[in-house]
Amino acid sequence: MGSIFIDDAFTLPGKVTPLQGVHPEINFTYRPTLPQRAYEFSASVTGRGPTERMNETVRLLVEQVTGWDAKDGAGNAIAIDARILRRVFARVLDQMLDAVLGYSPAARDDDEKK
């Protein structure tokens, strides 16, 4: 059974589900976001436009994601950085963001209905 505490250097596995004909499954590792940083992220995007939301999302993912198995069209490994994250599909960013913030897809859907 896991702990309720987030220890230094603790990582978890994450997965972006594939979208047939668009992108493959992406497996990644991440450091769970500490509560204060999660609240800071939420405050920084609430009521903001798409540019600010994208900037904050990319910033958080660069901080928290430690690795992934994404490859380019030639099969070469792709580094995780802000430039690359700005070019992936929005659903990839959304699923990675949900993971690092501790959301399950069901929890996100519930929050969006409120």
Tens digit of each residue's pLDDT (9 = 90 or more) over 61-104: 999 999 999 998 899 999 999 999 999 999 999 999 999 999 76
Residue range of the domain that includes 97: 34-106
Q: How large a percentage of the chain has pLDDT more than 70?
A: 89
Asked whether residue 96 is assigned to any structural domain, the reply reads yes
Q: How large a percentage of the chain has pLDDT more than 90?
A: 75
Q: Cβ contacts of residue 45 below 8 Å, gap of 6+? A: 52, 53, 56, 57
pLDDT score for 101 = 95
Number of structural domains the chain divides into = 1
Give the separation between CA 67 and CA 15, rounded to whole angstroms. Answer: 12
- Whole-model pTM: value is 0.84
Asked whether residue 44 is assigned to any structural domain, the reply reads yes
pLDDT score for 110 = 53
Q: What angle do CA 42, 36, 45 make, to 5 degrees?
A: 15
- Quick one: how far is CA 96 from the chain centroid? 2
Query: With the C-alpha atoms ordered 62, 66, 69, 71, is the resulting torsion angle positive or negative?
Result: positive
Helix (H, G, I), strand (E, B) or coil at 96: helix
Asked whether residue 7 is assigned to any structural domain, the reply reads no
Give the separation between CA 92 and CA 76, rounded to whole angstroms. Answer: 19
pLDDT score for 113 = 56
pLDDT, the chain, mean: 88
Asked whether residue 27 is assigned to any structural domain, the reply reads no
Asked whether residue 9 is assigned to any structural domain, the reply reads no
Asked whether residue 23 is assigned to any structural domain, the reply reads no
Asked whether residue 38 is assigned to any structural domain, the reply reads yes
Asked whether residue 21 is assigned to any structural domain, the reply reads no
